[in-house]
Chain A
Amino acid sequence: MSLVVRRYAPQAIVTIIILLTVMFFYFYVNPETSEAFSRADKALSDWVVVITSFALIVGGIDILRFHLVRMRKEGLRQAPFSAVTISLLVLMVLFALHGWYLSYADPAAGIAITTQPQFRWLYLNVYAPADAAVYSILVFYMASASYRAFRVRNPMALLLLVVALIVIFGNTTVGGLLWPGFLSLRDWVMTVPNTAAFRPITIGAGLGIIILGLRLLTWREVSWMGRRE
């Protein structure tokens, strides 16, 4: 019994929903059924919108738990930093809740969660620049790697380098000064050989989606269930 509710029932739900979503899209009986299918289909998509929101909250709480554990385990060296993370997390949520409260208590003020002033200050002045810097720091490693690791060892690497140079000169304005043809040559590279090179990957992605769907349908894909019993 316990295995039924723990494993088989969720897997059965997956199978039924996949079959339903495909059926809602492809099957046509008469206008009334089509209308009902369309409504049910939209309802299912909306359910995911709601559930994903809860999943994001769970993700945030996971980070909170992670830092609480680190504070306890790693002692004074880590504690102040984890405390910063935890307090900022809690502050952000409190400000958001304040904005949420105001949106109902005083709708005329026009303040919602994302426009709550303190919340906005924190995401514009802490989250935004840090996010930008974290993602862009890769530029340094890339510059260093092009000096240390980009070696023309064989014809394939030579082809890669030649194409890269064409696209680099096409992308930058300095390329236009050297030879005006770089821009159209880059466009040709992108629209002809590059499109052809990435087309099998696009087709492969499509096949991947079909295979994943079939694996879920036939209960072969179980990684989404988390821990095994």
Chain B
Amino acid sequence: MITWEVFGAWLSAAMVVWIYSFAYRDNALYKLAEHMFVGTAAGYSIALALDSLNRVVVAPAVRSPETFWAASWHYVIPVVLGVLMFAKYSRKYYWLARYAVAVNIAVGSGLALRTAPIANIVRQVTATILPLWGSDPVKVLNNWILVLVTLGGLTYFLFTIFPRRVEGARPSPAYWVYRSLYYIGIYGMMVGFGALFANTIMTRVGFLISIYLIYIQPEAWASIVAAVLAAVAIILGILRKR
């Protein structure tokens, strides 16, 4: 018997196959799946926004109004600001939405601004201040690599003030230090990008494997039917163009 659950599993497999069919050629079934995805994704995001709003503001206001109005009355302000966001659709009052955006970006930026100097800079710099001499040669080598490549990368990203070579004159020692670190930086980053490339393959293939295991393999027949339909849609598309 075809229950909603069974039909859902078939539909899931078909959605995957139709979206993958785009890798071969654009077709009507891909377009259908794509539009279904956009519709559900947008609806989902609105619903989850309502859910978050409900759990943060509405539920406490409805269930325990006294405590809410005593302690959390200030929620009225962001609710009003949030409603002002809809003013962006007005030609005349679009600027009202800026008040909500202003609060959002200011708080976001302020929160990041106050801890980023410690988290992103101080802690990274202190982690790079390492002993360059010692009894353990492996550790010493690792420390040299860490220090030189970090300095090199930072040098590579210097876009404002750096030693330049004056034509005709002998380059200064500062210039040579700069150039050496610059190249160490580039080669260091190539190592980083190599690792990134290899890990990208891992992730992308991992996505494919899990999709096969979760959606396609359990519903092999539905997938085959969906693939045949996609093939027909591709052929029809080609014939129509001719």
**A residues at B contact (CB < 8 Å):** 5-7, 9-11, 13-22, 25-26, 43-61, 63-64, 81-82, 84-93, 95-97, 100, 103-104, 112-114, 119, 121-142, 146, 156-157, 159-168, 171, 188-190, 192-207, 209-210, 212-213, 216, 224-227
B residues less than 8 Å from A100 (CB atoms): 50-51, 54
When the two chains form the complex, which single residue of A124, A134, A138, A225 contacts B204, counting CB atoms closer than 8 Å? A138
Cβ–Cβ contact B9 & A125, under 8 A: yes
Given known contacts A14-B106, A44-B107, A200-B150, A64 and B42 CB-to-CB distance under 8 angstroms: yes
Closest to A44 in B: B107
A residues less than 8 Å from B49 (CB atoms): 52-57, 60
Cβ–Cβ contact A26 & B47, under 8 A: no
Cβ–Cβ contact B35 & A85, under 8 A: yes
A residues less than 8 Å from B148 (CB atoms): 196
Answer yes or no: B215 CB below 8 A from chain A CBs. Answer: yes
A160–B190 Cα distance when bound, in Å, is 5
Nearest-Cβ distance from residue B6 to partner chain A, whole angstroms: 11
A201–B200 Cα distance when bound, in Å, is 18
Answer yes or no: B37 CB below 8 A from chain A CBs. Answer: yes
A residues less than 8 Å from B188 (CB atoms): 193, 196-197
Nearest-Cβ distance from residue B86 to partner chain A, whole angstroms: 7
Q: Which 5 A-B pairs have the closest CB atoms?
A: A92-B43, A206-B120, A163-B194, A197-B192, A21-B110
Nearest-Cβ distance from residue B154 to partner chain A, whole angstroms: 5
Extra inter-chain contacts (8) besides given A91-B43, A162-B194, CB under 8 Å: A22-B110, A48-B78, A56-B48, A92-B43, A113-B51, A132-B214, A189-B195, A212-B109
The interface-forming segment of B17-25, B162-170, B172-180, B231-239 is B17-25
A193–B43 Cα distance when bound, in Å, is 44
A216–B215 Cα distance when bound, in Å, is 47
Q: Which of A157, A194, A200, A216 has the most CB of B within 10 A?
A: A200
Answer yes or no: B220 CB below 8 A from chain A CBs. Answer: no
A54–B80 Cα distance when bound, in Å, is 10
Cβ–Cβ contact A200 & B50, under 8 A: no
Given known contacts A53-B50, A193-B145, A197-B188, A137 and B106 CB-to-CB distance under 8 angstroms: no
Cβ–Cβ contact B98 & A225, under 8 A: yes
A14–B148 Cα distance when bound, in Å, is 40
Cβ–Cβ contact A193 & B191, under 8 A: yes
Cβ–Cβ contact B104 & A167, under 8 A: no
Nearest-Cβ distance from residue A37 to partner chain B, whole angstroms: 12
Given known contacts A21-B111, A193-B149, A131 and B41 CB-to-CB distance under 8 angstroms: yes
Cβ–Cβ contact A194 & B191, under 8 A: yes
A199–B119 Cα distance when bound, in Å, is 12
Closest to B119 in A: A206
Interface residues of B in 81-138 (CB under 8 A from A): 81-83, 85-86, 88, 94-95, 97-117, 119-121, 124-125, 127-128
